[in-house]
Chains A and B, each alone.
Chain A
Amino acid sequence: MSEAFIRCEKLTKVYRKGDQEIVPIRDLDLEIARGAFVSLMGPSGSGKTTLLNLLAGIDSPTRGALHIGSNDLARLSRGALAAWRSREVGIVFQSYNLVPVLTAFENVELPLLLQPLSRAERARRAMEALDTVGLGDRASHFPSQLSGGQEQRVAIARAIVARPPLLLADEPTGDLDRESAELVLALLASLHRDRGTTIVMVTHDPEAAARADTLLHLDKGRLAARESRGAEAAR
């Protein structure tokens, strides 16, 4: 069994809305091995996106521990979390979230602006990432000039350009037609296979989830079930 890369212990997230307390993640214990491809499934409100946000350091846990690699995310300051995100995590959103006034190339280059790289090296890596997603010839296009599937592939290029060990994807095929969704899923699978990137993907789509080697079912903020395919990558 591989060593755990992601480890959640009694992880709890509580939101307060007036007097009301909402607990999307409750006492969650979870371990994910390095290099795993995990799909997170569950009904709406089960806490999938909240868990993904916690894993990305976008949100902070209310209680419990969250370790990713050697970092205890609950103890990192906002600045340290940002720096950690720039090195260790790539995020793919359902609605792509490309910056509309930047070209595909410039969107992909964004995470590299925070690294001490020369302009030439940034350009080389950004083009390499665009080539990886098959959009090298669309580098100078703005998001409005791309199809939804192409936008999502640019978003994936942006997520992988800094070569992070962890890729988090929130419904990456949710807004795509079947053909584009297939392309995106194939891309994620090849990143997992060829680069050993740990991928955690939230999805409602059983066909998309089937691409992963581990399926985690969340319900009411707790782990309800897990299915492993091939190597046991998650416990």
Chain B
Amino acid sequence: MSGFTGNLARTAALALRMLVRTKVRATLSILGIAVATFLLCAERAVQDGVREATEASARDTRLIVYRANRFCPFTSRIPERYADEIAAMPGVASAVPMQIVVSNCRASLDVVVFRGVRAEDAERTLAPRLRFIEGSLRDFLARGDGALVGSALAERRRLKVGDRFGSAGVTVTVAGIVEADGPQDRNACFVPLPFLQSSMGGVQGGIVTQVEVEIAEPGTLDRIAAEIDARFAGDAAPTSTRSEKAFAARAAEDLVAIAGFARLLGAGALAAIFALVANALILSLEGRSRDLAVLQAVGFGGRAIAWTIIVEAAALAAVGAAIGAGCAQLALAFGDLSLGAEGVLVEFRPSIASAIGATLAAALVGLCAGSVPAIIAARRSIAEGMRAA
């Protein structure tokens, strides 16, 4: 190790030793930073969830056909036969009519979305995109009130196969727990269409909320959506067709607005980290002015003094950020949090990339916050330091 790097390493070790031995100050600072980083990670999870639910990609192949000028599952009603007509259109791989019943139309943290599907659609279209964790499709088809429960909803409600649960006036028996790639499927409760239609007394058979359309070729979404709407424009129930992501973005406008607000919270969390680290170090400088003057007196130069402060700031920020990010990961992993609005669900899931990003951002901000006290300490004369003590 060269003289310069050796000096850096030895003074860094000294700074960490001194920090570890001021337990109360260090612990309080680290806790504050951890809380701020927790908020930052939560904000990142909100952004990720909204992005996953609403951000379109060139690979998207799913359209949602809704009743024109209707925005809520309770008011969108279209004939079930539309699905067969759409399925016959060129470029369409499948069309699944669905009855949607939600426990709460407004933005809520615990929304149950029932999706009524026909038995043949469950076999042909639904089963291939779901992975069974418990139960089977046969069990589902064998029961009139059977339900395939998405993994996120099952964890949130602590459901297992054989359980009965009810919401929004619908009571079902869990026939399977399923995993899926998309947040809407992971949070849904699929039930037989006739059962759901009869459970909702006011809704007659032959009427559904929406048709879920899979197209054969990515990139033809807009064209096929326009063709579907044109086909039913003169019908008694005209349609409005959008990609699933665009549909989610419109239906979940409230959630997108919440995510925008969460971005402010994220910025606030970073500002809090800056203020906490800067405050902790400036207060510590005042309390340790004599110690720092002593270090100068025994030969520590301004750069070495600044380095000890920077190391201290980086250590506080890194440890606080790591704890905050770790707690956020655990809370998100075990909390199974999701926010629903008008039948669209946004999941808040832990993400290693977001946790690392938040930790790095927090550590970087902490490091910047330490630079000002470091400069102050480096420029303070020994005599000033001794007098200030």
Contact = CB atoms under 8 A, between A and B. Distances in A.
B105 interface: no
The prevalent SS among residues of A at the interface is helix
B129 interface: no
B303 A79 contact: yes
Interface string B294-332: 111111111110000000000000000000000000000
Interface in A88-107: 91, 97-102, 106
Given A78-B302, A111-B298, A102 B383 contact: no
A86 interface: yes
- Interface size class of chain B, counting residues whose CB lies under 8 Å from the partner chain: 20 to 34
Nearest to B382: A58
Interface string A62-89: 0000000000000000110011011100
B130 to A, nearest CB: 59
B353 to A, nearest CB: 38
B301 A82 contact: yes
B223 to A, nearest CB: 71
A83 B301 contact: yes
Interface stretch (B6-14, B119-127, B336-344, B367-375): B6-14
Interface in B47-62: none
Contacts of B304: 82, 114
Nearest to A81: B301
Contacts of A58: 296-297, 381-383
A79 B14 contact: no
* Residue among A99, A100, A110 with the highest chain B CB neighbour number at 10 A: A99
Contacts of A48: none
A98 B298 CA distance: 11
B286 interface: no
Nearest to A86: B299
Nearest to A161: B298
A53 interface: yes
B6 A116 contact: yes
Closest 6 CB pairs of A and B: A86-B299, A82-B301, A101-B21, A111-B298, A58-B382, A113-B10
Nearest to B18: A101
Contacts of A59: 381-383
B299 A114 contact: yes
7 contacts: A58-B296, A85-B298, A86-B298, A91-B297, A98-B294, A99-B291, A116-B6
A204 B382 CA distance: 23
B153 to A, nearest CB: 53
Nearest to B294: A97
B18 A82 contact: no
A153 interface: no
Contacts of B263: none
A126 to B, nearest CB: 13
A99 B301 contact: no
Contacts of A158: 298
Given A99-B295, A101-B291, 13 more contacts: A78-B301, A82-B301, A83-B299, A85-B298, A87-B299, A99-B294, A101-B17, A110-B14, A110-B298, A113-B7, A113-B10, A113-B14, A116-B6
Contacts of A86: 298-300
Contacts of B303: 79
A56 interface: yes
Contact of A82 (B14, B17, B299, B383): B299
B3 interface: yes
Candidate in B7, B14, B18, B382 with the most chain A CB atoms within 10 angstroms: B382
Contacts of B293: 97
A99 B296 CA distance: 12
Given A59-B383, A78-B302, A99-B291, A113 B11 contact: yes
Interface string A110-124: 110110100000000
Q: Give the residue among A53, A101, A113 with the most B Cβ atoms within 10 A.
A: A113
Contacts of A106: 17
B290 interface: yes
B298 A102 contact: no
Contacts of B381: 58-59
A57 B52 CA distance: 63
Interface in B212-239: none
Contacts of A99: 18, 291, 294-295
A167 to B, nearest CB: 13
Contact of A85 (B290, B291, B299, B383): B299
